[in-house]
């Protein structure tokens, strides 16, 4: 596992993927989309499990599982660092009302 700065760099690189034109072949693009779809499905399974069972004592672990499905690097951070990272990035995204 890399240090904190390596994790931040990887997260920034992951976000930039959506901002640049892809130079990947169609097979590579399909593989990337498939990986993303699998991560989203895994996260949705965890979230629906949380909603279905309503077991408050399991929510922290299940929330970690959902975060890990989408971003293992983010899940590796402590709760305060992860919260700050996500919310600082969201603050830079215009809301629908401002679009």
Please classify residue 70 by burial: count the beta carbons closer than 10 Å to its beta carbon, then call 0-12 exposed, 13-18 middle and 19+ buried: middle
C-alpha atoms less than 13 angstroms from C-alpha of 86 in its C-beta half-sphere: 13
Mean residue pLDDT of the chain comes to: 78
pLDDT in tens, 51-60: 888 888 888 9
The predicted pLDDT at position 25 comes to 82
Contact at 8 Å (CB) between 73 and 7? Answer: yes
Contact at 8 Å (CB) between 82 and 75? Answer: yes
Question: Does 77 or 18 have the greater pLDDT score?
Answer: 77
Q: Which two tokens stand for residue 57?
A: 């004592």
CA 26 – CA 3 distance, rounded (Å): 33
The predicted pLDDT at position 81 comes to 92
pLDDT in tens, 15-57: 554 555 556 688 888 888 898 999 999 999 998 998 888 888 8
């Amino acid at each position: 596992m890399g240090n904190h700065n390596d994790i931040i760099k990887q997260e920034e690189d992951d976000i930039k993927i959506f901002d640049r034109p892809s130079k990947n072949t169609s097979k590579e693009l399909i593989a990337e989309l498939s990986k993303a779809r699998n991560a989203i499905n895994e996260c949705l399974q965890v979230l629906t499990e949380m909603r279905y069972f309503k077991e408050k004592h399991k929510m922290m672990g299940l929330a970690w599982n959902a975060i890990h499905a989408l971003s293992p690097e983010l899940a590796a951070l402590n709760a305060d660092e992860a919260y700050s990272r996500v919310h600082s990035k969201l603050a830079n995204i215009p809301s629908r009302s401002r679009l």
